[in-house]
Structures are given as structure tokens and as C-alpha cells.
Amino acid sequence: MANVYDFTVKDRKGNEVKLAEYAGKVLLIVNTATGCGFTPHYDPLEAMYRDLKEKGLEILDFPCNQFANQAPGSEEEIHEFCTVKFGTDFPQFAKIDVNGENAEPLFAYLATEKPFAGFGRGIKNAALKKFADLNNKKFGEKAYIKWNFTKFLIDREGNVVARFEPTVKMEEVRSAVDELLAK
């Protein structure tokens, strides 16, 4: 059976990185964007990373421009934005597609392991769903990820244990990470 350690991705400079290098760590894998309403998630993500890195947490950041062109910059421009504006220190990888024919295989795998279950209730969530559905219509069955800042939680053995849509409160994400690190 496959797990995330079977995948190789590219860092922001184009170098191949085997995710097996993160074996034994708890991972939070996130597709991000610099111009999204959820971009402020970088603050609690960085705080979580600072607080929990020594306990075995790694956050892996994958910029993506497939959602309303909200990450139009180059890898270097995106990295500079994140480090200057949010002080991010966690690993940032090459900009990728998460949907369609050119979807990064890692994200197709993650979404297959933990499929989309909805954005939750409320008018904002319903509005996001409508907008996401229109945006993702072009990807058909390969619309794996519905919006920016979808987060996947991976245990120390490389198994996908949870998926958090961007509408999930960061406190809930942090609680799940804390719980997994304590195991």
C-alpha cells in the first residue's frame, strides 16, 4: 500500500525531494496562494511550526495558481512574499497544479485518500462552494482539491489521517496536530 513517503516532489529551486526524508515526522501538507482570502492562514501555520517543529511537525507548502489566479508570482516572488509578510520558515516547494491532467501526483493521492466532504455550513461556506464548483468544473473528475489552503494531516508512518478544508478553523487543525504529535 502506498503512502506519502512513496512520492518525490520538487522544491522551489527545482530540486527533487523524496518525501521519505520526512519519515517519522507528522506532516501538514498545504496548497497555498498569496492573494487569497485565506492567505492569513500563514500566520497560525507559522506559529504552529515554530511551536511544534521540535516535537516532530513539518509543514510542507505547495503554492498553486489554479484558484482564481491567486498565486501568479514565480517561486521566488511567492517565497519572498511569505517570508517577508508572514515570516514563514517551513519548507516551500515548487508551484504546482493540484487539479486536472497536470495535477501533482501527491495531491491526487492525498485527495483520493481523504476526499472532499464539504466546506461546512453557513452562508460563507455555501458561497465558497458555489465559486469553487464553477472554478473546478473544467477539471471534471480530476478536481481533487476545491480551494486554496486545503490541509492534509499525515501521521509518522506516512498515512493520511485527516483533511481540513480552508473553512475549518485553524484552532481545530492545531488541535488535531497536537493530538497526533502526542501519540
Catalytic positions, written as ranges: 36
The answer to whether residues 5 and 20 touch, using CB atoms and an 8 Å cutoff, is yes
Rounded to an integer, what is the distance from CA 54 to the centroid of its chain? 21
What 8-state DSSP symbol labels residue 111? H
In this structure, is the dihedral angle defined by the CA atoms of residues 99, 151, 158 and 17, taken in order, positive or negative? positive
Nearest residue to 147 via CA among 167, 161, 171, 162: 167
The helix, strand and coil proportions of the chain, stated in percent and rounded to the nearest 5, come to: 45, 20, 40
Burial per residue of 133-143, b for 16 or more beta-carbon CB atoms within 10 angstroms, e otherwise: eebbeebeebb
